[in-house]
Amino acid sequence: MIKSKVLVVGGTGYIGKRIVKASLAAGHTTYVLQRPEIGLDIDKLHMLLSFKEQGARLVEASFSDHRSLVEAVKEVDVVICTMSGVHFRSHNILLQLKLVEAIKEAGNIKRFLPSEFGMDPALMGDAIEPGRVTFDEKMEVRKAIEEAHIPYTYISANCFSGYFVGNLSQLGTLVPPKDKVCLYGDGNVKVVYMDEDDVATYTIKSIDDPRTMNKTVYLRPPENIMTQRELIAKWENLKGTQLEKISISEQDFLSSMKEMDYAGQVGVGHFYHIFYEGCLTNFEIGQNAEEASALYPEVCYTRMDEYLKRFLN
């Protein structure tokens, strides 16, 4: 089978740079959008140039220039958008509507993967404010995609290890606590943790797969489904120490939002749905969806005890 040509939008971002790497590794002709808005961000420029050295092709286009977007899209078969949807970085989800219009006009795209990669927004209709804005906006983009009859795949990648594993799922830090660890409730709600490189690998595998056409692909490798307590135990076993565990009630956790800025409130809301409601695992995968590790058993995904080893002294 001829491999699709891929355009990555947001290729210098946290997930985007991994998607570019995985696409190149899988042998896809890979384009990366280079936006003039990069300005004087030399780190992004150097990353783009490094992609070029690795074999990627840079294509210039701007979200403020519809024609340039259409021409960029016409170069490829698949578009993967990885623009940020988190408030502590930048929040650009609705900017994708301009990309949807370009894809619609170009008329050649075999698959579009919008910027999702977290919780499934279709299941978050009862999410609390202000964090629900993330899900509402993603659903607005989905609506535009489906009304334009653009073939799609939605990737639900759950909890990125970089933000949820090394810190044992603690807010406000990225490294393991030394003495005490906060538990959300009793810490026994099942969560799904994913290494970001594995997210990219599974994503690229899905783009030419007819089984994932117009479906949601959940990344739920069985050995990475665990409770917060089980994650902490893995760290304690590796470290050979025990942490003091402090349980935070649901009410106290939600009350903590009052003292936070907007981005912090969004984060607390998302943590609440994950660790108290169990929104990543409290449903069965339905007819219009697939599970990635079942589709691609050949992928040797990173287990969380292996991931945690990098934090040992």
| Residue 3: DSSP 8-state | P
Q: Which helix (H) or strand (E) holds 245?
A: strand 244-248
Evaluate the omega torsion of the peptide bond into residue 130 and state whether it is cis, within 30 degrees of 0: yes
The catalytic position among 21, 44, 104, 138 is 138
Q: Is 138 a catalytic residue?
A: yes
Q: Which helix (H) or strand (E) holds 227?
A: strand 225-227
> How far apart, in whole angstroms, are the C-alpha atoms of residue 117 and residue 131?
16
Contact 256, 184 (CB under 8 A): no
Q: What does the chain come to in residues?
A: 313
For helices 196-206 and 16-25, the axis angle rounded to 10 degrees is 50
The backbone region for 185, taken as left when phi is positive above 0, alpha when psi lies in -120 to 50, beta otherwise, is left
Active site (catalytic) residues: 138
